[in-house]
Structure 1
Amino acid sequence: MAFLDNRRSATWLRRMLVTTALTGVLAGGQALAQAVEPEEAAPAETPMTTGDEIVVTASRTATNGLQAPTPTQVIGAETIEKQGVTTVMEVLNQNPAFKATRSPGANATNTSSPAQATADLRALGGQRTLVLVNQSRVVPFAPASNLGVPTTTDLNLFPTLMIERVDVVTGGASALYGSDAVSGVVNLIMKKRYEGVEITGQAGISQRADYATHRLGFIAGTGFNDDRGHVVLSADYSNNDGMDDIYTRDWGREEWMIVSNSQRTVAGTPGFGQPAFILSPNVHNSLGAGGVITSNIAGLANMTFNPDGTIRPFQRGSIFGGQVMIGGEGESIIKGVAQVPDVQRLTFYGSVYYDFSESLTGYVEGGFSRSRGFLDGIAIRLASQAIARDNAFIPTQVRALLPTATASFNISRIAYDMGKNYYDIVNETPHGTVGLEGKLGGSWKWDAHVSYGVNNYSAITHDNPISANLAFAIDAVRDPVSGNVVCRAALAGNPAAAGCQPLNLFGAGNFTAAARDYVLGEGSSKVKYDQLTAAANLVGEPFSTWAGPVSVAIGGEYRRETEKLTADAIGSANGFLTAGNAVPYGGDFNVKEGYVEVTVPLARDVPALHSLSLNGAYRYADYSTVGAQSAWKVGGTWEPIEGLNIRVARSRDIRAPAINELYSPGSNVRNAVTLVVDGVNKTANIPQNTSKGSLDVGPEYANTLTAGLAYRGTGGLRGLGFSIDYYKIKIEDAITNLSTANIASLCSSGDSYFCGLFSYGPDASTADPNDRIHTGLTAGSLNVGAFEQEGVDMTLSYATSAGFLGEGGRYSIAASGTYILHAFVDSGTGAAPVDRAGENGWTNLGSIPTFRGNLSQTIGTSGWELSLQTIFISKGVQDVTYNTLPTNTINDNRVPTVAYFNLFGKIFAGGDRKFELFWAINNLLDKDPPPTPYTILNFPTNGQYYDKVGRNFTIGARARF
């Protein structure tokens, strides 16, 4: 593979693959469907069955995807095995309908949950995608964060070897499954029967000798007591060493960032007359590794400190804004910050099913998972730190130039020399289900279960700057008695400063180890989240029409969820400078709900009406928090000829607020706020909390329409399947938290509700006792946001024999794609909704490329198999609002088209393929991610869509006994 290291040498390979790439674009696709043999070909939405009846997730009364009015895609175990992935998330996020919003490779700065793996359909947030296991809920993952991090299911819980298939319902399903099924459902179907033992081991590494991965797993099962009972056990261990900072990659060393051009209106400066924002390489921090004097003092302004304390002019870049600049000295603000965190994962899962009789089966299933994420964080950043004139560490050269009247001056500094904070997050989840399944005679079946799960979350932040300690340590003076340098607060006897060690910021490496240890601390927080669920379902055919039996499903469910967050004293008081603060709280809710679903056939086996049926469902839920709620769905399927299914569905779905959206205490800060009070524009420095939950927040509502067709080939077209579905989803009363600036603007424009969120008191600056001024702000979760997304999903599958390849020769293709027509986001600030379709950057909520496609082609025989996967992401823009106003112009808003190629292979040996050697080359052509910077965190590319690792290799083996 040495020739692949030279990109120019890979030109011939690019040419060879370009036809495949174009095919992927036209087909719109991804390898979503379960691989099938040519004689058993089926479309992506029809699960393969070996005899047992399968109920698809889109309907409790339908036994295949074509009978359900809501589109369903299926990922089979073969697809998961083929790619050698360690979690099902890795395959889901290749599906164009998903966004990798919270996953290790995408959200390296997710300090509260770096190992988290979340399913996010339609890029509407993981909290709006319901994840089930065998159609039942599992305990969610709730990190220690005071709002801002959604409560979702962590896909790390489940060993991939245990997964039979994954049903993906790409439409609302609250009527069938309740809250959270707003943008869709992911249902993991676990294996209930397995004979023998399968062991899998694999290892991998990137071309740059990082991103090392190891995995070892097994699944074992057997029948017992004359095959009346079946037991299946599985375990999976994996670890990934992650990827270090941007300087480990060529594209990272280019240091791309978007810089706010603060000089565009200043005549005579390099940025004058240019756009308000500049997308540029060679962007460095403007804070200075040794400190920079930012006060406008003659002879000192813009001076930086050498390690020996002497000063020199700081080499400032040509254009600067905020804490970054184009050019100049220094490095990126995120030097040392991991691009992909280290992740360890250990998962156990098992089940026992026992047939007490032909009409009664009992079962127990569940498991335990433990994931651990390590994340290298950021260095201390001081944008404007006041230094008192009598600070003992001020170099003699600087002190001599300070004007007599200057009581203090300001410096900036980025403390690479003090190291960086890092995060150790552990997530443990035991969970289990006990249930019964039975037959009542005829077509009637029933099931009931009780499940319980606990999510135990623990976070430790190391070398985390403590705000109060940092302030005490910086303010260093000389003790008039001893002559030693001490902290001013400690000298004054302030008990809060006990043990303070003075910190020298002037020049890199001039602090003492004692000062560093005093400034940096360790924070900890824990969350216990438990979920108890009891549910029962009854399905049958009470009578028949002229077209066939009417199917009915009814059921009820009780669910209770409880959350308790605890934290260390410093974090509880918001005392850490960067991250790791978590204010303790607790809360709970319960819900009692019932549903009914009915499928009524209207015609069968008549001209142009091979079949016609209507389907409807209704759910009533009584929440202890938001009261009575209802959801419904109505739809129909028409099969004019055998194999061609035309479907339409309309649903009303809900999402009840999560515990953190109700009970989180948020974080208190104090800043200046400008507000119109009694017709007068006033500014006051007030306490404010806009990140808390609210017991007044209500549920979200969604209206979803899907319409399309699916075809399953028959006769001469056997082996072909495709579908195309239009969808439109509109979410109203979306739960969000507005910023202080948003709330003040809405109040000042005359909105009395938002004015009521402020507290008021007498204005001491006037003599009139009736004059008022704002004195505080408390604003919790609000139902003010809205989303509306409209698009088209496409799938294609085809399988045929290929005898020319040898014995068992075959060829298959599987593809899917999603084209976004509109993706409106209403932030609730009063501004007009913004259509984020075609926005490939990651700064804004709801941003999504116009088109994503994924295509997989496989050829093979009984002895080998080779698959080529093409992942396509359409061109777009950084931000759709750029260049819409004179104040938000940018020099380059374009994001280019990107295509990735992944190559997978298998070699089989032994009878019935008992032994298998598999390998994978991901990002075969070592395609660099395009510059799509996130200006808030200063990361240069969007890992939610683009690969940051580059070419990487996996090799492994499976043995079946």
Structure 2
Amino acid sequence: MFSSKTSRVLRLRYSLQVTAAFTAACFGGSALAQEVPAGTTPATEASDERDPRGEIVVTASRTATNGLQAPTPTQVVGAEVIEKQGATTVMEVLNLNPAFKATRSPGANATNTSSPAQATADLRALGGQRTLVLVNQSRVVPFAPASNLGVPTTTDLNLFPTLMIERVDVVTGGASALYGSDAVSGVVNIIMKKEYDGLQVTAQAGASQSGDYGNYRVGFVGGTSFNEGRGNIVLSGDYSYNDGVSDIYNRDWGREEWMIVTNSQRTVAGTAGFGQPNFILARNVHNSLGEDGVILNGATTTGGNIANIPGLTGMAFTANGGLRPYNKGAIFGGQTMIGGEGASIIKGTDLIPSVERMTLYGSLYYEFSDSLTAYVEGGYSTSTGILDGVPMRLASQRILRDNAYISPQVRALLPANLASFNISRIAYDIPNNVYEITNETPHGVVGFEGKFGGSWKWDAHVSYGVNNYSSATFLNPVTAKLNFAIDAVDQGQFQTGVANGNIVCRATLPGAAFNAAATGCVPINLFGAGNPSQAARDYILGSGLAEVKYDQLAAGVNLVGEPFATWAGPVVIAVGAEYRRETQALTADAVGSANGFLTAGNAVPYSGEFDVREGYFEATVPLARDTPFLRTLDLNGAVRYADYSTVGGQTAWKLGGVWEPVTGLNIRVSRSRDIRAPAINELASPGSNVTNSVVLVVDGVSKTATIPQNTSAGNPNAGAEYANTWTAGFAYRGSGALRGFGLSVDYYNIKIEDAITNLTTVNIASLCSSGDTYFCGLFSYGPDISTADPNDRIHTGLIAGSLNVGAFQQEGVDMTLTYGTSVGFLGDGGRYSLAASGTYIFNALVDTGTGAANAVIDRAGENGWANLSSIPTFRGNLSQTIGADGWELTLQTIFISKGTQDNTYNTLPTNTINDNTVPAVAYFNLFGKLFAGGNKKFELFWAVNNLFDKDPPPTPYAILNGPVNGQYYDKVGRNFTLGARVRF
């Protein structure tokens, strides 16, 4: 069964005990120690980055001897930044970087039922599957949920304990020539500690000022050298728990109930919506289904339709089975309305799910000689996200005339020729469904590093990892059981024509309607809130389980050296070969396999695999050195050929140059051709059906229908996607009077062709409604029985799989600024530092690939969350720190520019909206530290996030009925963290 609050607390206590015992066992006898310096730089450049063993590590190039030699820009997040913010995962820090979008994170999209705890890196808002995540320059096993639900295969950043991280390099440009597939928008390379001498223990806790979002964390990192320093072992463990935030009614902005409502009355004279825009952004938006059940329309005994049943249509049931007028809102459309009775469709749905996470990670390095080092790295991680989902919604449920729960007074109103009628109902009196998602990943790598022949270095490794994904759903209505239970009859009336008051499910009685699958059925009374019995609830609600095993085997060998020199210095080359095999197998319970759950939770079993053999070559050639205005001039190039078992041979390449005209100023440019091969789910997934309300323009009329949809299927014929990337910019590091000053500005232009896309229903519906006939063809159609005209059509279903249908292009500028100086009046060690970064987007084009006149849409400046590649025009992050030997204080400012809900609104008569603006927002976070003891052995730290309790602007998503885009805006409000670090 799903976890209760009590069991979570018990698990927390148990994890604390295990962590403490493990720490004492490993490091209890260690002498006093001092941490090896992190060796990080300001966020502008990865220049002269060395790991603790003295080797130069440059993520953006395998041949550059410092970061400024690499033509592709790199940003660096040091361990001190992660510690300063008290971040439990590296995701929390990366998503504050303007180049990232929090597409999948616990706070971004609470209705993400397949991976509510997932934390991914998404550079440029181009999708996490196009950002490659490495650990120490090597691949790690990806996170693969029940992916016929349309979730991309990406790396889960929950895998890595932040205490073990030395720094994180972010390469903000294409790097497929160096690292292979997926490095289209960039690379996140997590550099782990390889040496540590001593023990550090961290503990922290926090909560929001609203009393929720309670969180706890305890972790350690420790290590020791042995055999006269030739060997070093480092171990780290980290446990954290956050109880999340329940539904929107726990926040003042949530109680305003903002939503975008489709105005179905804009063409109906005499109604409140007549003449108004097609969409209305408004507060006080409720569901239009009715928690008591609302009568809609009916069918005659001769097979005809009754759109309006006199005396019944528009009436709601009462608790005693009677009728009352339903208080419908002024403007309504689909399942929502402005005003009227009731509450939000997502009443009871978590704003932020609870997340429990534990990681263990370690490394052992041993130096056999000056020319040979062996190492073992690896770990185990598990994370669990628990989400309270949505209430059961019935948009149009058929009720037969002889239903035994129809009261005599209502039955007397039924027309003689009425065979059945339809009702709508939202079941607040039945528990919301619950999802518990567990992601468990053991992984490890064995490798060797060596030197020979002067400048030549080599390394080789083999890694293996397994991602075990489990998706359990509870309290989830089973469609077949619900249909059996709703069809309730009086046993005596049905069998003998004389009622006896024994109400049963029709399908359990002998006769034509008998169905053996209905054994055990308990009839349910949907007429009036509170009338479903506990036994009926227990019968219709089921549980399901889908599991995925994804394993990755990878091996690689690299050789770097200087074969010869030019007049300007040595030429450095790197060559290497890699092999990778990935397999995926999804299994599911019988109900989920048959798409039997009413809401999410269905997963159809499948399996798939691929392997790839790759080879690459990179060279850095110096062309000038120490001449006027040519202090350095280097040319860099790389090429990689990969042979995939799925898409055949693929070639990626990069060419760039770096010019240093004067000391401290580097001008760089690069051009790359990058590839991304389709993931297993994009090739083999059978997809999964969900049933939901869809608004679509059919034959020029906006219509709403609840239909089955499958937009997550794979396509075995999907090909690779390609990207052409330009970057050009400069980096300056001051000296003399400008010592401590750093500035970089980099222009980028990424064009992705043949993009592999599983468009969402709302995307497809929007494209169809805009006149794109290709996407209209993905829908099926049938007669619209709600009208008298037999030629009227309505959409009845949707099937769409992975498609190489379009392209993305994003063009923008990344800017970083750093400054640091000593400040004497602050006392010993007095200092001030500033770190600022910002990304300005010129355009973020999405091409549907159909050739239609309106196929290309610019999503730059779109702050809503309904569409692919939507991204604000500008985001900025400014951190200012003052401190001295005993204390430190940092003020962080996060800025998000103003924008639109959707850039396509008000571009056609069918998509007008009353308000398409989203205001600019600034958040302020305050971090502090107090130090005590020699070498700062004791540290007390604290954080106040969203210092001024800034409410998020209304940015609703109509399909998921969420009022706020959590990918950019804070849904928690002011929250506090207090913690301590002790170093032994």
| TM norm structure 2 | 0.89
Letter in 2 for 1:461: T
Compute the displacement of 1:717 (Å): 1.3
Distance in 1 separating the partners of 2:708 and 2:944: 54
Distance in 2 separating the partners of 1:577 and 1:824: 36
Distance in 1 separating the partners of 2:868 and 2:625: 46
Give the match's secondary structure for 1:418.
coil
Equivalent residue number for residue 419 of structure 2: 407
Relative to structure 1, the CA distance from residue 499 to residue 722 in structure 2 (aligned partners, 3 Å threshold; closer, same or farther) is: same
Question: 2:925 matched to 1:933?
Answer: no
Distance in 2 separating the partners of 1:289 and 1:671: 18
Given that 1:743 and 1:829 are in contact with CA atoms closer than 8 Å, whether structure 2 keeps it comes out as no
Relative to structure 1, the CA distance from residue 788 to residue 299 in structure 2 (aligned partners, 3 Å threshold; closer, same or farther) is: same
Relative to structure 1, the CA distance from residue 806 to residue 728 in structure 2 (aligned partners, 3 Å threshold; closer, same or farther) is: same
Equivalent residue number for residue 106 of structure 1: 108
Distance in 2 separating the partners of 1:660 and 1:223: 44
Equivalent residue number for residue 3 of structure 1: none
Greater shift, 365-374 or 308-317, is seen at: 308-317
Relative to structure 1, the CA distance from residue 124 to residue 899 in structure 2 (aligned partners, 3 Å threshold; closer, same or farther) is: same
Compute the displacement of 1:513 (Å): 1.4
Distance in 2 separating the partners of 1:923 and 1:829: 43
Compute the displacement of 1:145 (Å): 2.9
Compute the displacement of 1:169 (Å): 0.4
Question: 2:111 matched to 1:93?
Answer: no
Q: Which runs of 5+ in 2 are unaligned?
A: 1-35, 298-307, 695-705, 782-794
Give the match's secondary structure for 2:947.
coil
1:504-543 superposed matches below 5 A: 504-543=525-564
Equivalent residue number for residue 119 of structure 1: 121
Distance in 2 separating the partners of 1:466 and 1:152: 30
Question: 2:231 matched to 1:229?
Answer: yes
Question: 2:203 matched to 1:191?
Answer: no
Aligned residues: 903
Distance in 1 separating the partners of 2:801 and 2:46: 42
Relative to structure 1, the CA distance from residue 940 to residue 751 in structure 2 (aligned partners, 3 Å threshold; closer, same or farther) is: closer
1:900-919 superposed matches below 5 A: 900-919=923-942
Root-mean-square deviation (Å): 2.7
Of residues 374, 378, 381, the one that matches 1:362 is 374
Give the match's secondary structure for 2:636.
strand
Give the match's secondary structure for 1:869.
strand
Distance in 2 separating the partners of 1:183 and 1:414: 43
Letter in 2 for 1:486: V
Given that 1:38 and 1:810 are in contact with CA atoms closer than 8 Å, whether structure 2 keeps it comes out as no
Distance in 2 separating the partners of 1:360 and 1:636: 33
- 1:561-618 Cα offsets, whole Å, 9 max, x none, are 0000000000000000001000000010000000000000000110000100000000
Given that 1:53 and 1:63 are in contact with CA atoms closer than 8 Å, whether structure 2 keeps it comes out as no
Relative to structure 1, the CA distance from residue 191 to residue 639 in structure 2 (aligned partners, 3 Å threshold; closer, same or farther) is: same
Question: 2:507 matched to 1:489?
Answer: yes
Distance in 2 separating the partners of 1:38 and 1:55: 11
Give the match's secondary structure for 1:63.
coil
1:342-741 superposed matches below 5 A: 342-480=354-492, 483-491=501-509, 492-667=513-688, 691-737=712-758
Distance in 2 separating the partners of 1:610 and 1:585: 58
Compute the displacement of 1:550 (Å): 0.5
Compute the displacement of 1:89 (Å): 0.2
Compute the displacement of 1:409 (Å): 1.0
Compute the displacement of 1:686 (Å): 12
Given that 1:210 and 1:241 are in contact with CA atoms closer than 8 Å, whether structure 2 keeps it comes out as yes
Distance in 2 separating the partners of 1:687 and 1:712: 58
Compute the displacement of 1:441 (Å): 2.3
Question: 2:829 matched to 1:808?
Answer: yes
Given that 1:38 and 1:799 are in contact with CA atoms closer than 8 Å, whether structure 2 keeps it comes out as no
Distance in 2 separating the partners of 1:626 and 1:257: 43
Equivalent residue number for residue 968 of structure 2: 945
Question: 2:219 matched to 1:211?
Answer: no
Q: Which runs of 5+ in 1 are unaligned?
A: 1-34, 674-684, 761-773
1:302-317 superposed matches below 5 A: 302-317=314-329
Distance in 2 separating the partners of 1:930 and 1:894: 10
Relative to structure 1, the CA distance from residue 420 to residue 735 in structure 2 (aligned partners, 3 Å threshold; closer, same or farther) is: same
Compute the displacement of 1:396 (Å): 2.0
1:275-290 superposed matches below 5 A: 275-290=277-292
Distance in 1 separating the partners of 2:120 and 2:339: 38
Compute the displacement of 1:749 (Å): 10
Relative to structure 1, the CA distance from residue 700 to residue 158 in structure 2 (aligned partners, 3 Å threshold; closer, same or farther) is: same
Equivalent residue number for residue 885 of structure 1: 908
Distance in 2 separating the partners of 1:751 and 1:288: 35
Give the match's secondary structure for 1:401.
coil
Distance in 2 separating the partners of 1:672 and 1:333: 12
| TM norm structure 1 | 0.91
Letter in 2 for 1:793: D
Give the match's secondary structure for 1:417.
coil
- 1:642-663 Cα offsets, whole Å, 9 max, x none, are 1100000000000000000111
Given that 2:647 and 2:719 are in contact with CA atoms closer than 8 Å, whether structure 1 keeps it comes out as yes
Compute the displacement of 1:41 (Å): 7.2
Distance in 1 separating the partners of 2:665 and 2:401: 82
Compute the displacement of 1:758 (Å): 11
Relative to structure 1, the CA distance from residue 758 to residue 155 in structure 2 (aligned partners, 3 Å threshold; closer, same or farther) is: closer
Compute the displacement of 1:111 (Å): 0.5
Give the match's secondary structure for 2:536.
helix
Question: 2:81 matched to 1:79?
Answer: yes
Distance in 2 separating the partners of 1:686 and 1:595: 49
Equivalent residue number for residue 23 of structure 1: none
Equivalent residue number for residue 142 of structure 1: 144
Compute the displacement of 1:219 (Å): 0.3
Compute the displacement of 1:738 (Å): 5.7
Given that 1:44 and 1:796 are in contact with CA atoms closer than 8 Å, whether structure 2 keeps it comes out as no
Letter in 2 for 1:721: G
Given that 1:44 and 1:722 are in contact with CA atoms closer than 8 Å, whether structure 2 keeps it comes out as no
Distance in 1 separating the partners of 2:204 and 2:689: 48
Letter in 2 for 1:306: T
Distance in 2 separating the partners of 1:42 and 1:318: 53
Equivalent residue number for residue 248 of structure 1: 250
Greater shift, 204-213 or 884-893, is seen at: 884-893
Relative to structure 1, the CA distance from residue 39 to residue 104 in structure 2 (aligned partners, 3 Å threshold; closer, same or farther) is: closer
Given that 1:38 and 1:801 are in contact with CA atoms closer than 8 Å, whether structure 2 keeps it comes out as no
Distance in 1 separating the partners of 2:707 and 2:266: 32
- 1:702-742 Cα offsets, whole Å, 9 max, x none, are 00000000011122211111100000000000112468996
Letter in 2 for 1:642: T
Given that 1:42 and 1:719 are in contact with CA atoms closer than 8 Å, whether structure 2 keeps it comes out as no
Distance in 1 separating the partners of 2:251 and 2:546: 34
Distance in 2 separating the partners of 1:584 and 1:672: 26
Letter in 2 for 1:867: T
1:47-62 superposed matches below 5 A: 49=50, 52-62=54-64
Give the match's secondary structure for 1:250.
coil
Give the match's secondary structure for 1:140.
coil
Distance in 1 separating the partners of 2:537 and 2:836: 55
Relative to structure 1, the CA distance from residue 749 to residue 711 in structure 2 (aligned partners, 3 Å threshold; closer, same or farther) is: closer
Given that 2:40 and 2:49 are in contact with CA atoms closer than 8 Å, whether structure 1 keeps it comes out as no
Compute the displacement of 1:667 (Å): 3.4
Question: 2:896 matched to 1:873?
Answer: yes
Distance in 2 separating the partners of 1:598 and 1:494: 71
Distance in 1 separating the partners of 2:864 and 2:800: 29
Given that 1:41 and 1:799 are in contact with CA atoms closer than 8 Å, whether structure 2 keeps it comes out as no
Equivalent residue number for residue 156 of structure 2: 154
Compute the displacement of 1:827 (Å): 2.7
Distance in 1 separating the partners of 2:153 and 2:779: 29
Compute the displacement of 1:64 (Å): 2.3
Taking only the aligned residue pairs, the percentage that are identical comes to 75
Equivalent residue number for residue 979 of structure 2: 956
- 1:408-467 Cα offsets, whole Å, 9 max, x none, are 111100001011100111111000000000001211000000000000011110000101
Given that 2:43 and 2:835 are in contact with CA atoms closer than 8 Å, whether structure 1 keeps it comes out as no
Give the match's secondary structure for 1:447.
strand
Distance in 2 separating the partners of 1:645 and 1:669: 53
